[in-house]
Amino acid sequence: MTKPPLTIYLAAPRGFCAGVDRAIKIVEMALTKWGAPVYVRHEIVHNKYVVDDLKAKGAVFVEELSDCPDDRPVIFSAHGVPKSVPQAAAAREMIYVDATCPLVSKVHIEAQRHADNGLQMIMIGHEGHPETIGTMGQLPEGEVLLVETVEDVPKVAVRDPLRLAFVTQTTLSVDDTIDIVAALKARFPAIVGPHKEDICYATTNRQEAVKAMAPKAEAMLVVGAPNSSNSKRLVEVGSRAGCAYSQLVQRAADIDWRALGDIKTLGITAGASAPEVLIEEVIQAFEDRFDVTRELVETAVENVEFKVPRVLREPA
């Protein structure tokens, strides 16, 4: 029986970004240098497949530093940690390696610089997300106020409306933050913004590829984890860009074939912490059922690479 034809539009860029690539490399190099077990505070990146692979190699994932022994190395996740965490590790004389994405670290430095200039911070982000917790934890309690939506802006209680600055979570959608930033500037005309957009290049690039792909596709699948902020934003961007069915899947097993029906065109992308092997797994599932033609939708070429910390480049 002949298979029905299906054109798969494959977004580029998609999947791993330089920060995720670096974080995974840090765990692997730490295991090579110090042997197993190496402890990791919080999921190194938000992807079960990646975490399980590192567990199999000897990484132990914990939620708090108190769950780590003093005599084994600990790694801090790519999302960043409050300032109190490395301070506590140093007090215990632990070996620790910070895998915070350099673009998140940039936001941390920015927040500290504004605070040093006497400005109170407003952070645009999602409550409870590790990156938000890490950024807000760079400064003392009450120095960073969280705003999640435009509706939050009139309610935020600031110390001095003339001495304010804002930063944003790096994994948000550019479209989401535009309205919030506009509302902040309307209420607080003196508010100081970042020198350069906080939303990271990889988040923006993946969203732009989705915007280019979505109008061509009857359905779109985003390969990523349900706790991955940037993956969830890609689903939303796809819907807003005109794709009638935009869904998140972790693995091929999650595909809802009934909902897809007899589609002729499909868009596929992946969040910044999803490995290419999972994207290929999803495409293979469609190739088993359809006569697939692949078409690349490329909107940017990424050649960014971040160095791993010096401690891992030095011999043990």
Report the run of H or E that residue 3 belongs to, with start and end. Answer: none
Helix, coil or strand: residue 140: coil
Contacts of 14 (CB under 8 A, 6+ apart): 206, 209, 268, 269, 270, 274, 279
Whether the Cβ atoms of residue 263 and residue 269 lie closer than 8 Å to each other:
no
Total number of residues shown for the chain: 316
Selecting among 28, 93, 131, 276, the annotated active-site residue is 131
Q: Which of 39, 46, 34, 77 is nearest to 61 (CA)?
A: 39
- Backbone conformation region of residue 261, classed left if phi is above 0, alpha if psi is from -120 to 50, else beta: left
Contacts of 281 (CB under 8 A, 6+ apart): 251, 252
131 noted as active-site residue: yes
DSSP code, position 123: E
Helix, coil or strand: residue 45: coil
Contacts of 303 (CB under 8 A, 6+ apart): none
> Which of the residues are catalytic?
131
